[in-house]
Amino acid sequence: MRNFELPGRSAVFARNGMCATSHPLAAKVAVDILQAGGNAADAAVAGAILLGICEPQMSGIGGDCFILLKPAGEDRVIGLNGSGTAPAALSADALRAKGLAAMPIYGIDTVTLPGAMDAFCRLNADWGRAPLADLLAPAIRYAEEGVPIAPRVARDWAEDAGVLQGDARRFYLQDGQAPRIGQIFRAPGQAEVLRRVAAEGRAGFYEGAVAADMVASLQAMGGCHTAQDFADTRSFYTDPVSAPYHGIELVEHPPNGQGATALLLLNILKHFDIASLDPFGAPRAHLEAEASKLAYDARNRFLADPDHTARLAHMLAPETAAQLAALINPRQAMPAAAPLTEAVHRDTVYITVVDGAGMAVSLIYSIFWGFGAGLASAQFGINFQNRGAGFSLTPGHPNEAAGGKRPMHTIIPGMVKQAGRVVMPFGVMGGAYQPCGHARFVTNLVDFGMDLQSAVDAPRCFPAPDGLKVESGYAEGVKAELAALGHKVIAPEEPIGGAQAIWMHPDGVLEGASDPRKDGCALGY
């Protein structure tokens, strides 16, 4: 239990339904949908769509999503892959011929097809109860009337605004500047897009005037995207991957997401007595950092489009983790095993919803880096993602860029099982940090017995390409110990990640936690 004399927040408890996410308006809309008779799938779609209006620098209908769903009355977990492909005409050879040795971070070559909207429509059609139009109505209203800019959103918006180019500046800046805290952001073009989806379903987005706007805009900027690319975009169901850890089972979305990295990381940590360590001390941070370097190296080697990930079983095999654990020196940091394919970034939104019947949804939704590719469609202002930056240009690599292929993704929704029962949908945002964040959150709960909100609040560190990023919640003496172990200790540019979680107690009580690093909250009724 937290010290009530110090700043902090309590977990939220309710029985009938709950949402935890990074913006209060989205949490409120999700709970409103539940109270109006919708289920967790409905509420998650409504809340996620609104997050793209409330936090457009992190997410939006030009992006991708991944979903884990636990049906009501069951404990199986279903995966839904809402990531889009590269346009059919994309060629790694052509990119290399332009002089590129690696994928750029921004610009037209990084724009992959937006897969999230198809997944939202499919989730609603297959698992929802409410009409799609009812779920889109709140986001339409807020897009037209406007939303006040929240503090963390304002900070991120200002930092990311410099990447905006052309029409994107017209839609996402006000008088050429990032909006400030409390200023109103409106997106009438996106409201019109959502009205068309409400009336026509996925065809309102992937065909007709909206698709024509996206295709024309992308081609005008030099893209090879076609109307057929958009028409062919489809989400698909998949089977999650999982691994046991000290009495629980961590369930992750399979490739092309990086969830297997979190499983490998925990498999490595099982070879050490983590529970005997100080949760906020240097030895724990050191072991986690070393295990992360090795797990992320495996990620960079193996994970790719589902049709091109050939060594997933090897990555998750116990003997692989044992061999990697043996490489860790508890008294000396190793160099980074291999450069990470992207720097740490914060540009993701996450929402989890549980309803009174026991359906649970874990949904993560992103345009990748801040404002994605920095580009937007000319008519409706749809911000394009830069997920193509996640491809490799190494010839023959499983993740080599190619037309019709999905890049390796950083965003991962999670769930936890205990004794065969799903007990917690959760997510930890933060780009590359996410597998490390999943592992740390699980070990906070399992090894150190933290309550849900404390496990979210606890300080974080992460071995990024430029050094070991250590939040200010760590004592200075701990940072000195880490430096003595050989780590290049650096301060993160911003708080590391952001987590949301709901614990489903056996008596039906729901316990929600929301990260103070974000603007959001958990709400129940």
The answer to whether 353 touches 501, Cβ cutoff 8 Å, is no
Which helix (H) or strand (E) covers residue 116, if one does?
Answer: helix 116-127
Dihedral Cα 170, 174, 179, 184, nearest 10 deg? -100
SS3 467: strand
How, if at all, do strands 510-514 and 498-504 pair? antiparallel
The answer to whether 103 touches 391, Cβ cutoff 8 Å, is yes
The answer to whether 18 touches 510, Cβ cutoff 8 Å, is yes
Report field, pTM of the whole predicted structure over 0.75: yes
Helices (H), 128-272: 132-145, 151-160, 167-172, 188-200, 203-206, 208-220, 227-232, 259-269
C-alpha 304/C-alpha 408 separation (Å) is 5
The answer to whether 264 touches 295, Cβ cutoff 8 Å, is yes
The answer to whether 426 touches 350, Cβ cutoff 8 Å, is no
C-alpha 29/C-alpha 22 separation (Å) is 13
Q: CA geometry: angle at 514 spanning 435 and 65, to 5°?
A: 50
Give me Rg for the CA atoms of the chain. Answer: 21
The answer to whether 390 touches 341, Cβ cutoff 8 Å, is yes
Q: CA geometry: angle at 453 spanning 452 and 458, to 5°?
A: 105
The answer to whether 169 touches 508, Cβ cutoff 8 Å, is no
Task: List the catalytic residue out of 348, 352, 410, 443.
Answer: 348
- Per-residue pLDDT for the chain (525 aa), expressed as one digit of tens each? 778 888 889 999 999 999 999 999 999 999 999 999 999 999 999 999 999 999 999 999 999 999 999 999 999 999 999 999 999 999 999 999 999 999 999 999 999 999 999 999 999 999 999 999 999 999 999 999 999 999 999 999 999 999 999 999 999 999 999 999 999 999 999 999 999 999 999 999 999 999 999 999 999 999 999 999 999 999 999 999 999 999 999 999 999 999 999 999 999 999 999 999 999 999 999 999 999 999 999 999 999 999 999 899 999 999 999 999 999 999 999 987 555 444 444 468 999 999 999 999 999 999 999 999 999 999 999 999 999 999 999 999 999 999 999 999 999 999 999 999 999 999 999 888 999 999 999 999 999 999 999 999 999 999 988 899 999 999 999 999 999 999 999 999 999 999 999 999 999 999 999 999 999 999 999
Please report the pLDDT score of residue 4 as a whole number: 87
CA distances from 124 to 133, 202, 361 (A): 10, 11, 12
Roughly what angle, to the nearest 10 degrees, separates helices 40-54 and 24-35? Answer: 150
C-alpha 387/C-alpha 348 separation (Å) is 12
226 is catalytic: no
Q: CA geometry: angle at 262 spanning 256 and 268, to 5°?
A: 130
Which helix (H) or strand (E) covers residue 489, if one does?
Answer: strand 489-490
CA distances from 245 to 239, 311, 314, 328 (A): 20, 22, 18, 19
C-alpha 15/C-alpha 424 separation (Å) is 15
Q: Specify the residue for token string 């469609």.
A: 377
